[in-house]
């Protein structure tokens, strides 16, 4: 099946995309990464001579990969606000003590952030990042909003869930008991008996099914279509299924991805690697200097890439490219193949277990032109095993693929 053409979209789908584009074009979408880098590390086997291309997102995983000591990481994102967040983190790593850095990005708040920003961090930022953060220092200050992680588009969804819990004390107490559960069996019991029935209610299912909710989480209409195509219970059923797996299989006490959006902060024992004291000082000791931010598309970066590349972390951006810009996706992959070192590896995620673009988009490499699937050697069993370990568990498809030698 070929990718959907523009003229096949319904009027509602086009409207949904216009809303998504308008929101995305003005906002910080991701205030934290929503992919598990522990899974990625196993899939990538990052080596000291690796030169990586990583879609930046919130920068958390870029810094996680840097802890593996590759030669260089090119962090690429078309949204300059995501680059601005990574720049702020890099400036903090260069100039702050761990206690201040953790308060800002672990607690999500620092009472002296405005002073620290203007005196210490701002000079290290690009002009766009300076302009962006000059107007948003309050995001990190003590205020009624409580935490940086309740800002940005994904933060609005977290704030909305917090408001839901505030209006339903029984649900709030159930979440608190799950976070404090001494073992997984206790957590499962609380979830099954107290929280899951509320998620199944018509009001919650309606909210989860709205494209606006998906747009705030950075999910455009083509990804929503992929979810609907494979899940009989629609988007709400898909989301609830992901929550079911996480609540039943992973202790929330140590699952920093979900804990963050339930509480608005990390703890010293439950946080991304880059926020831990020893890791922070390793980054400050030189590893963070190997990260090079770029504000551009992957294709724009590849056209002028200064060196051959060995590891690609492509997240899920191909889902929406295949829906709206299949020719651009074909060009991107042609460049990914052309710029790759022998033995290069890519990982990517999708809302569909086997996304249609793998079969439907022909890619030119050298003199040959064939479906993308035929250029790649997939590690299906490894990907399936790692998917079961994924503490986020919101993607139906996780793919590990070697590029031609």
Report the C-alpha gap between 356 and 58 in whole angstroms: 27
What is the pLDDT confidence band of residue 162, given thresholds at 50, 70 and 90?
Answer: confident
Pick 193 or 217 by higher pLDDT: 193
What is the pLDDT confidence band of residue 175, given thresholds at 50, 70 and 90?
Answer: very high
Report the C-alpha gap between 118 and 134 in whole angstroms: 8
Q: For residue 360, what pLDDT is reported?
A: 93
Q: Which residue has the tokens 């504000």?
A: 295
Please write down the HEC assignment for all residues of the chain: CCCCCHHHCCHHHHHHHHHHHHHHCCCCCCCCCCCCHHHHHHHHCCCCCCEEEEECCCCHHHHHHHCCCCCEEEEEECCHHHHHHHHHHHHHHHHCCHHHHHHHHHHCCCCCHHHHHHHHHHHHCCHHHHHHHHCCHHHHCCCCCCCHHHCHHHHHHHHHHHHHHHHCHHHHHHHHHHHCCCCHHHHHHHHHHHHHHHHCCHHHHHHHHCHHHHHHCCCCHHHHHHHHHHCCCHHHHHHHHHHHHHHHHCCHHHCHHHHHHHHCCCECCECCHHHCHHHHHHHHCCHHHHEEEEECCHHHHHHCCCCCEEEEECCCHHHHHHHHCHHHHHHHHHHHHHCEEEEEEEEEEECCCCCCHHHHCEEEECCEEEEHHHHCEECHHHHHHHHHHCCCCCCCEEEEEECCC
CB 114 within 8 A of CB 125: no
Q: For residue 126, what pLDDT is reported?
A: 98
Q: For residue 81, what are the CA distances in angstroms to 98, 111, 288?
A: 24, 23, 19
Lowest mean pLDDT among 228-232, 255-259, 313-317, 346-350: 228-232
| Token pair for 129 | 């990042």
- By CB atoms closer than 10 A (0-12, 13-18, 19+), residue 297 is middle
Q: How would you classify residue 234: left for phi > 0, otherwise alpha for psi between -120 and 50, otherwise beta?
A: left
Report the C-alpha gap between 180 and 148 in whole angstroms: 23
Kindly state the average pLDDT of the residues 384-396: 94
Q: For residue 165, what pLDDT is reported?
A: 86
Q: For residue 199, what pLDDT is reported?
A: 83
With a CB cutoff of 8 Å and minimum separation 6, the contacts of 367 are: none
CB 403 within 8 A of CB 348: no
- Domain ranges in the chain are 6-80+282-402
| Token pair for 181 | 């559960």
CB 391 within 8 A of CB 257: yes
* Pair type for strands 397-402 and 377-378: antiparallel
Pick 320 or 196 by higher pLDDT: 196
Lowest mean pLDDT among 31-45, 173-187, 191-205, 241-255: 191-205
pTM of the model as a whole: 0.90
pLDDT tens digits for 62-105?
A: 999 999 999 999 999 999 999 999 999 999 999 999 999 999 99
- What's the half-sphere exposure (Cβ side, CA atoms, 13 Å) at 215? 18
What is the pLDDT confidence band of residue 4, given thresholds at 50, 70 and 90?
Answer: very low
Answer yes or no: is pLDDT of 161 > 70: yes
Kindly state the average pLDDT of the residues 182-200: 94
Pick 2 or 101 by higher pLDDT: 101
Q: For residue 76, what pLDDT is reported?
A: 98
- Mutual orientation of helices 169-179 and 256-263 as an angle, nearest 10°? 150
Lowest mean pLDDT among 67-76, 138-147, 242-251, 354-363: 138-147
Q: For residue 379, what pLDDT is reported?
A: 98
Q: For residue 352, what pLDDT is reported?
A: 85
Kindly state the average pLDDT of the residues 212-229: 62
Average pLDDT, the chain: 90
CATH, domain range 6-80+282-402: 3.40.50.150
With a CB cutoff of 8 Å and minimum separation 6, the contacts of 360 are: 1, 2, 3, 322, 326, 371
pLDDT tens digits for 275-324?
A: 999 999 999 999 999 999 999 999 999 999 999 999 999 999 998 888 77
Q: For residue 236, what pLDDT is reported?
A: 77
Q: For residue 8, what pLDDT is reported?
A: 45
Return the percentage of the chain with pLDDT > 90, whole number. Answer: 72
Pick 121 or 221 by higher pLDDT: 121
pLDDT tens digits for 18-61?
A: 655 666 667 899 999 999 999 999 999 999 999 999 999 999 99
């Amino acid at each position: 099946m070929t990718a959907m053409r523009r003229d096949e979209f319904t009027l509602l789908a086009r409207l949904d995309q216009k809303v998504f584009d308008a929101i995305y074009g003005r906002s910080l979408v991701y205030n934290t990464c929503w992919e598990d880098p522990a899974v990625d590390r196993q899939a990538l086997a990052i080596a000291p001579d690796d030169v990586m291309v990583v879609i930046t997102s919130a920068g958390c995983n870029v810094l996680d990969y840097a802890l593996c000591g590759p030669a260089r990481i090119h962090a690429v994102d078309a949204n300059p606000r995501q680059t601005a967040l990574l720049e702020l983190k890099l400036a903090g790593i260069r100039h702050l003590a761990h206690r201040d850095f953790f308060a800002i990005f672990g607690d999500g708040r620092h009472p002296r952030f405005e002073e620290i920003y203007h005196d210490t961090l701002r000079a290290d930022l690009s002009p766009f990042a300076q302009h962006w953060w000059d107007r948003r220092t309050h995001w990190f200050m003590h205020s009624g909003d409580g935490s940086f992680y309740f800002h940005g588009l994904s933060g609005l969804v977290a704030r909305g869930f917090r408001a839901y819990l505030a209006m339903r004390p029984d649900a709030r107490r159930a979440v608190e008991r799950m976070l404090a559960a001494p073992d997984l069996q206790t957590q499962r019991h609380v979830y099954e008996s107290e929280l899951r029935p509320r998620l199944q209610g018509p009001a919650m299912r309606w909210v989860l099914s709205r494209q606006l909710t998906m747009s705030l989480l950075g999910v455009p209409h083509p990804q929503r279509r992929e979810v609907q195509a494979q899940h009989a219970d629609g988007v709400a059923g898909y989301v609830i299924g992901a929550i079911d797996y996480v609540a039943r299989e992973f202790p929330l006490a140590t699952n920093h991805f979900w804990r963050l959006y339930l509480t608005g902060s990390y703890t010293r024992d439950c946080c991304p690697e880059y926020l831990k004291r020893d890791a922070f000082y390793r980054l400050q000791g030189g590893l963070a200097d190997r990260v090079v931010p770029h504000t551009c598309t992957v294709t724009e970066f590849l056209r002028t890439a200064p060196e051959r590349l060995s590891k690609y972390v492509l997240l899920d951006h191909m889902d929406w490219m295949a829906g709206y810009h299949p020719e651009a996706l074909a060009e991107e992959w042609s460049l990914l193949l052309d710029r790759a070192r022998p033995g290069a590896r890519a990982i990517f995620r999708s809302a569909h277990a086997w996304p249609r673009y793998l079969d439907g988009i022909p890619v030119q490499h050298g003199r040959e032109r064939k479906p993308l699937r035929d250029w790649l050697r997939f590690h299906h069993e490894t990907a399936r095993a790692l998917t079961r370990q994924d503490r986020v568990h919101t993607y139906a498809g996780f793919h590990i693929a070697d590029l031609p030698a």
